[in-house]
A and B are shown apart, each in its own frame.
Chain A
Amino acid sequence: MASGSQGYSGSDDYIASKALMEIVNVAVVLRKPLVVKGEPGTGKTLLAHSIARALNKKLLIWNIKSTTKARDGLYVYDTVQRLNDARFKDKDISDIRQYIKMGKLGQAFSSDEQVILLIDEIDKADIEFPNDLLNELDEMSFHINELDEEVTAKHRPIVIITSNSEKELPDAFLRRCLFYYIEFPDGEMMERIIKVHYPDIEDKLVREALKRFYWIREMDGLKKRPSTSELLDWIKALALGGIKIEKINNEIPFLGTLLKNEQDTDRFVRVSTNQGGFGFRRR
């Protein structure tokens, strides 16, 4: 397999665990789509960016929304435009080709070089959505009915698919992919991640902040647990605000960067006043 210098081994601004790197490499070599699942803020989307940078390939991003249909990714036939143009003499509407617009998947297939295609948050779409893509991803080709033409991938794109597990993905779809679940980073990993973003930050501050951060995360009954991006914001705020390390131990400055809704803040205040420092998890 492509190991060592050839393969993917993380990039300057992204830290991937060794297991993840190995799997990315296998996915690249075998040209299998890779499904990456995990909590928000575990760096699923960034992974694709990082791979693109590390392998020096173009990245196409297909952002999935609740209304996205599988066909949108292949091509869109702009009938209304054509219908509209038909009323005027200045355009030749007999050429359907000009009304066929390639979607992201179509672009990836027709690209002259191998690209990386990120299908972001696939679980946002309808439950059946992934199944509609099965054949296209398997064969790496699709048919344009209006032109009666086959679009076949010149170079099979490297497909990275992310999911927040809002909806379960269909088995038939998963069977064709590699799967990786990104765990929420532990303290050690998190320290490295922070170092990548803020190389100059004081070690002690990071450690104290992390301690508090994981304490908040472990707290029962939070509606939204703070994730990596919130932590990074918080640490930045702490560093910029010149907060004394002792202060982090007694109270949490800039709590708003970590907890984003009122209920959670209330919950936090209740827990920290009732039970003091580290008395969480009563049950």
Chain B
Amino acid sequence: MFIDFFFTLRKKGVPVSIKEWMSFIEALYEGHFQSNLNHLYHIGRAFLVKSEAYYDAYDLAFQEFFGGIATEDVELDKVLGWLENPLNRLPKMSPEEIMEFQRQLEEFRRTHDLEELMRQFRERLKEQKERHDGGSKWVGTGGKSPFGAYGYHPGGIRVGGESWMQSASKVATERRYRNYRNDIILDVRQTKMALKKLRELKREGTEEELDIEETIDKTAKEGGEIELVFSKSRENSVRIILLMDTGGSMLPYTELCEKLFSAATQANHFKEFRYFFFHNCIYQDIYEDMANYKNVPTEKLFSLFNKNYKLILVGDARMAYSELFEVNGCIDYFSTNDKPGLEWLTRIRDHFPHSVWLNPTHKNFWGHYTVDTIGKLFPMYELTIDGLKDAIKALTSKTRNLLHQ
């Protein structure tokens, strides 16, 4: 059944809704489509996929569903029905024939290399002087030579014209949209977009919006003399503090953190954005620069910023046991700390009710005693677009996650 394509799409992670699927099917049965796979591929995508981030997943699903035409007998009748079209003169083929095709295609790929094929193609073009349709040697339409259009040669060179058969699934096989997947790439723009969600609108700043209700009220009271009343427009009131780990174990994630950092600095919609750095764990000092030279007492965090600031900590949370739990456990040889890191972290957590921890390492590697402990203090999320979105959701929610109370 064709509905299986829907499930294949869902399985591959394309969030197709019933509504989208239904309007696609409706359009299909109203006969708005040309029945060839290529067309189906593009139109289906326009109906069912609403972000280029899922184009790759769509390709994979399409490939799985339509690429396997030759092997799955159940679907065959249905698909053949699809392909039946006088326009592209598709021959009616039995399953066996299509199987045979598939076999030939494999064989052809094995025995011919592309360069040789191109060479032959150029030679034949040179030799050929007139139009050829059908036949098995010359470049033309409807033939069985490897060169030309609308032909039956498996895996040859198509010269212009529409392609049919598995061409669309070949487009799918190319996976040209792999780079648009958002679970893989976290780039600055996407990060910015995610950060944009971090907002709380409040009426602040200059008065520039005309308040009609008030204006009418006032005007009536003034006996018809117009009195314009303006109110303040809504502005984002979110203030952010970013605390980033610059420790050695964070080195592999430098680029990732840089991206988050530049996105956050470039996003100019925050009321205020401050950032500090630390090395592995936080003690009595944090730093204004990445190289950890300019130190600021951590106490300042508490005196300068009130609890309305939202705090984002970035780090792998992975350190030696002593660094988190012991006095003088700090990794830096020349530093001492009279309170264990855990105590400082707890104080920070208590001061900033809206805080999250972003971890650049994969969730699977979080099974570590310091990661666990810190994960109990702060809600911890992966530093991916999805993780960031969840983190932002947590930051903007009015109530804190009870687990982390």
Assuming A26-B43, A83-B226, A167-B193, is B50 touching A175 (CB within 8 A)? yes
The answer to whether B253 has its CB under 8 Å from any CB of chain A is no
Q: Using an 8 Å CB-CB cutoff, how does the interface string of B209-252 with A read, 1 for contact, 0 for none? A: 01010011001000011101000000000000000000000000
Interface window among B27-35, B302-310, B326-334, B350-358: B27-35
Q: Which of A1-53 contact B (CB under 8 A)?
A: 1, 3, 19, 22-23, 26-27, 29-30, 32, 34-35, 37
Name the residue of chain B whose CB is nearest to the CB of A283. Answer: B255
Contact call B46/A26, Cβ cutoff below 8 A:
yes
In Å, the complex CA distance between A27 and B27 comes to 10
Contact call A30/B27, Cβ cutoff below 8 A:
yes
Contact call B17/A175, Cβ cutoff below 8 A:
yes
Nearest Cβ on chain A to B24's Cβ, whole angstroms: 10
Contact call A23/B50, Cβ cutoff below 8 A:
no
Chain A residues whose C-beta falls within 8 Å of the C-beta of B34 in the assembled complex: 1, 3, 22
In Å, the complex CA distance between A80 and B51 comes to 42
Contact call A83/B215, Cβ cutoff below 8 A:
yes
Name the residue of chain A whose CB is nearest to the CB of B220. Answer: A83
The answer to whether A180 has its CB under 8 Å from any CB of chain B is yes
Contact call A180/B215, Cβ cutoff below 8 A:
no
Contact call A26/B224, Cβ cutoff below 8 A:
no
Contact call A1/B32, Cβ cutoff below 8 A:
yes
Q: Using an 8 Å CB-CB cutoff, how does the interface string of A208-219 with B read, 1 for contact, 0 for none? A: 000000000000
Chain B residues whose C-beta falls within 8 Å of the C-beta of A32 in the assembled complex: 23
Name the residue of chain B whose CB is nearest to the CB of A169. Answer: B50
Chain A residues whose C-beta falls within 8 Å of the C-beta of B215 in the assembled complex: 79-80, 83
Nearest Cβ on chain B to A224's Cβ, whole angstroms: 11
Which listed residue (A1, A86, A167) contacts B33, Cβ 8 A? A1
In Å, the complex CA distance between A178 and B43 comes to 9
Give chain B's interface secondary structure class: helix
Chain B residues whose C-beta falls within 8 Å of the C-beta of A281 in the assembled complex: none
Contact call B46/A180, Cβ cutoff below 8 A:
yes
Chain A residues whose C-beta falls within 8 Å of the C-beta of B49 in the assembled complex: 179
The answer to whether B19 has its CB under 8 Å from any CB of chain A is yes
The answer to whether B47 has its CB under 8 Å from any CB of chain A is yes
Contact call A179/B50, Cβ cutoff below 8 A:
yes
Q: Could you say which of A1, A86, A177 has the most chain B C-beta atoms within 10 Å of its C-beta?
A: A1
The answer to whether A166 has its CB under 8 Å from any CB of chain B is yes
The answer to whether A250 has its CB under 8 Å from any CB of chain B is no
Give chain A's interface secondary structure class: mixed
Which listed residue (B20, B23, B31, B224) contacts A86, Cβ 8 A? B224
Nearest Cβ on chain B to A138's Cβ, whole angstroms: 11
Which listed residue (B46, B180, B219) contacts A23, Cβ 8 A? B46
Contact call B226/A84, Cβ cutoff below 8 A:
yes
In Å, the complex CA distance between A1 and B35 comes to 11
Contact call A30/B32, Cβ cutoff below 8 A:
yes
The answer to whether A139 has its CB under 8 Å from any CB of chain B is no
Chain A residues whose C-beta falls within 8 Å of the C-beta of B193 in the assembled complex: 165-168
Q: Using an 8 Å CB-CB cutoff, how does the interface string of A74-111 with B read, 1 for contact, 0 for none? A: 00000110011011000000000000000000000000
Contact call A171/B226, Cβ cutoff below 8 A:
no
Nearest Cβ on chain B to A282's Cβ, whole angstroms: 13
Chain A residues whose C-beta falls within 8 Å of the C-beta of B55 in the assembled complex: 181
Assuming A178-B46, A179-B46, A179-B49, is B20 touching A26 (CB within 8 A)? no
The answer to whether B84 has its CB under 8 Å from any CB of chain A is no
Q: Using an 8 Å CB-CB cutoff, how does the interface string of B94-123 with A read, 1 for contact, 0 for none? A: 000000000000000000000000000000
Q: Which of A156-207 contact B (CB under 8 A)?
A: 165-169, 171, 174-181, 183
Contact call B224/A87, Cβ cutoff below 8 A:
yes
Chain B residues whose C-beta falls within 8 Å of the C-beta of A178 in the assembled complex: 46-47
Assuming A29-B32, A84-B226, is B216 touching A79 (CB within 8 A)? yes
In Å, the complex CA distance between A1 and B20 comes to 20
Which listed residue (B32, B176, B197, B219) contacts A83, Cβ 8 A? B219
Contact call A174/B226, Cβ cutoff below 8 A:
no
Name the residue of chain A whose CB is nearest to the CB of B213. Answer: A79
Chain B residues whose C-beta falls within 8 Å of the C-beta of A86 in the assembled complex: 224
In Å, the complex CA distance between A165 and B189 comes to 9
Contact call A22/B17, Cβ cutoff below 8 A:
no
Contact call B212/A79, Cβ cutoff below 8 A:
yes
Which listed residue (A22, A26, A83, A177) contacts B27, Cβ 8 A? A26
In Å, the complex CA distance between A26 and B47 comes to 10
Contact call B46/A167, Cβ cutoff below 8 A:
no
Nearest Cβ on chain A to B263's Cβ, whole angstroms: 13
The answer to whether B75 has its CB under 8 Å from any CB of chain A is no
Contact call A80/B32, Cβ cutoff below 8 A:
no
Nearest Cβ on chain A to B20's Cβ, whole angstroms: 5
Contact call B19/A175, Cβ cutoff below 8 A:
yes
Chain B residues whose C-beta falls within 8 Å of the C-beta of A23 in the assembled complex: 42-43, 46
Chain B residues whose C-beta falls within 8 Å of the C-beta of A180 in the assembled complex: 46
- Can you list 10 A-B contacts with CB-CB less than 8 angstroms, sorted by A residue number? A1-B34, A26-B33, A26-B46, A30-B32, A87-B226, A178-B47, A181-B51, A181-B52, A181-B55, A183-B176
Given A26-B43, A84-B226, A171-B17, output 15 extra A-B contacts at Cβ < 8 Å. Answer: A22-B34, A22-B43, A29-B32, A30-B27, A32-B23, A34-B46, A80-B210, A87-B224, A165-B193, A166-B193, A167-B196, A174-B51, A175-B19, A179-B46, A179-B49
